[in-house]
Amino acid sequence: MKPISIPTLPTFTDVQAAQARIQAHVQRTPAVEIAEINQRLKAEIVFKYENLQVTGSFKFRGALNGILSLSDRQRQNGVAAHSSGNHGLALAQVARQFNIPCTIVVPHNAPLKKRNKLEQSGAKIIFCEPTLAAREQALQAVVAATEATEIHSSNHPDIIAGAGSVALELLAEVPDLDAIVAPVGGGGLLSGVSLVAAAQETPVQVFGAEPMGADDARCSLQAGRIIRKPAQTVADGLRSALGELTFGIIRQKVTDILLVSDEDILANLRWFYRATGVMVEPSAAIALGAIARHSSRFVGRKVGVILSGGNVDADLF
């Protein structure tokens, strides 16, 4: 009989340790309310601008935590990952900062802005076909050749704990949130945030915002096991699938997964831009889209929204 693998899930304590480890290097991003948005949604929405984080997304937090947790030997051999963009940018930046070799495998259909930034990041960039299989295969080849340590973009304890630090910061500034909405792709951000939210004296609800065309998290929660399915969505950062760590946390701690159509993602991206002058990427706008689309669940409440990233092609529309 095949033994059941029981992964050790990261905990709230790991998030606290991550924050202590990384806080000297991360940007403390602002938490901002927008009157026009509050009025229309009849709720008090606090946006956490992780699009202004170093490298333009929350991924910098996990990358820092991952690399700062390596042994000297591991640092020597370097790090590697596959990424549609933001995780790769974050890892490359941290690696450069600490003078560590870094290789990123990138699907050739990643947004132009992300590809351009990656090519300037100092990391070694390898393009591949835009399938999970192709990404993993290329990465395994890199790891075999270089003995680099793989740092997965979401299903990795350090990445989850690092991402969770965004919720620690947000709740330190706005302690009376009723709920937090975060996008879900691989689930690193959502699981990290939910570790923090569940540990509050008065637990804070956590909702995942997921593209209709990439609803593996919602299907996995309903099935009680990880479901893999093809992903098709404009939110390029949310095409990846849950892993056993992120699934394990999300099934325990997340209130619900809310689906949002690509049309709604883009409409809310435009709305946010018109209200603030700030363009976030589709994978971030989806969290506002989830509130607008499922507004009855948020009316009259105080809700944090993680604007996860801002690396979007400026000519999107």
Closest CB to a copy of itself among 32 and 299? 32
Euclidean distance between the first and the last CA atom of the chain, given in angstroms as a whole number: 55
Segment contacting a copy of itself (CB under 8 A): 156-164, 198-206, 242-250, 276-284?
A: 276-284
The answer to the question of residue 312 lying near a copy of itself (CB under 8 A) is yes
Residues in the chain: 317
Shortest Å distance, C-beta 244 to a copy of itself: 34
Alpha carbon 23 to its chain centroid, in Å, reads 18
Distance CA 157, CA 201 (A): 24
Q: For residue 27, give the DSSP letter.
A: -
Closest CB to a copy of itself among 136 and 313? 313
- Please, what's the b/e burial string for 139-154 (b: 16 or more CB within 10 A of its CB; e: otherwise)? beebbeeeebbbbbbb
Closest CB to a copy of itself among 73 and 274? 274
The answer to the question of residue 274 lying near a copy of itself (CB under 8 A) is yes
Q: For residue 103, give the DSSP letter.
A: E
Q: From the list 280, 288, 291, 306, which residue makes contact with a copy of itself (rule: CB under 8 A)?
A: 280
Closest CB to a copy of itself among 216 and 281? 281
What tokens were used for 309?
A: 């990233």
Residues 89-118 that bind a copy of itself (CB under 8 A): 117
Closest CB to a copy of itself among 26 and 128? 26
What tokens were used for 225?
A: 């096991």
Residue numbers of the site for a copy of itself (CB under 8 A)?
Answer: 27-30, 32, 35-36, 39, 49, 51-52, 56, 117, 120, 273-274, 276-281, 310-312, 314
